Chain A
Amino acid sequence: DTEVTQTPKHLVMGMTNKKSLKCEQHMGHRAMYWYKQKAKKPPELMFVYSYEKLSINESVPSRFSPECPNSSLLNLHLHALQPEDSALYLCASSQEPGGNTDTQYFGPGTRLTVL
């Protein structure tokens, strides 16, 4: 089973709102990732959590705040977003960060619209 779940599927928010995206996996994977994908573009890495610690932050603005409460759960807290932040947000997980068989499995994504 290579299932990664994400909620909500769709989210519409105003620029003053605070919202959160949720990602969950029960495969025992030790790395979890957030990607942002704009229309007709490839995904771009935002954050990586390795063994529940933030290991990579790709210079993402502070209005995006990741959190990894436990090894199965990854959140992305959103605050004071801009309309240009509207995108598909993809979560992924992989079994063994740094391992030579490590493969990322993606969730279905949350389609975010900022008004």
Chain B
Amino acid sequence: AQKVTQAQTEISVVEKEDVTLDCVYETRDTTYYLFWYKQPPSGELVFLIRRNSFDEQNEISGRYSWNFQKSTSSFNFTITASQVVDSAVYFCALSEAKAAGNKLTFGGGTRVLVKP
């Protein structure tokens, strides 16, 4: 069975500080996919980034960056120079690829509060 753990339930920072969100996952699949989603108070889940298990290259996209380490089953996410609009709940998610549809298993979420 797949499992995703986000140990941090809530993080509070002051604007312009960096924020790193931790995510640890468990799966028996050799091919799997990892995601980060953002859920602002409005409720919509917004896709942020995706990483395939066979691609461990870490990247930066604007103020977002991620660190995928297969050896430790971790997929951490960093927001650089945080802004008030970054305040939201962030979910890490894991899926395997099935023709029936990719079932997403979510972590418990980390609430990020960015204060001005």
Contact = CB atoms under 8 A, between A and B. Distances in A.
Interface residues of A, number: 30
A2 interface: yes
Interface residues of B, number: 25
B91 interface: yes
Interface stretch (B12-20, B70-78, B80-88, B95-103): B95-103
A109 B44 contact: yes
A100 interface: yes
Nearest to B42: A108
Contact of B102 (A90, A98, A106): A98
Main secondary structure on B side of the interface with A = loop
Contact of A45 (B33, B37, B47, B104): B104
Contacts of B7: none
Interface in A43-76: 43, 45, 48-50, 55-56
A98 B107 CA distance: 21
A104 B100 contact: no
Q: Which of B31, B50, B100, B109 has the most CB of A within 10 A?
A: B100
14 contacts: A31-B101, A43-B91, A43-B104, A49-B101, A55-B100, A92-B45, A94-B102, A97-B101, A98-B100, A100-B31, A100-B97, A102-B97, A104-B104, A106-B37
